[in-house]
Amino acid sequence: MWPTIKSYLVYFITGGLFTALIVALEENGDRLLSGFATLVPVFTLVAYIFIGQSRGGAAVGSHAWFVLVGTIISWVPYMILVAYLAPRLGPKLAISAGMLGFFVLALAYLLLVYHYHWFGE
């Protein structure tokens, strides 16, 4: 059990470090680096390294297809909503509307994925 807890702690710290780095860069006015760091798929990068170690390349490949399609379906509309609404409603309402849209679309996507057993496993 201890090795599992240690692994989860490493996952948590790794993801948190990337997030803190992005925020620190933005707060210090380094928009180019913070923008680049934000574009790096941090969560999938970290997750796929560890999934690959524990379950192998086939699991990473299957999950990557799952995430790619899910990103197009739920994340792209979220970003469009935030970009369009933020100048009109302010960041809090725009992010709230974007997250609502994201969760509705993500839930619909997940229900379809699990109902039709897409992406293996």
d(CA 8, CA 72) in angstroms, rounded, equals 28
Cα 90 to Cα 96: distance, rounded to the nearest angstrom: 10
Say how far apart CA 112 and CA 61 lie, in whole Å: 19
pTM for the whole structure: 0.73
Full pLDDT tens readout for the chain, 121 residues: 667 888 888 878 887 888 898 889 989 999 898 888 888 887 788 889 889 999 999 999 999 999 999 999 999 999 999 999 999 999 999 999 999 999 999 999 999 999 999 987 5
- CB-based burial of residue 78 (10 Å sphere; 0-12 exposed, 13-18 middle, 19+ buried)? buried
CB 81 within 8 A of CB 101: yes
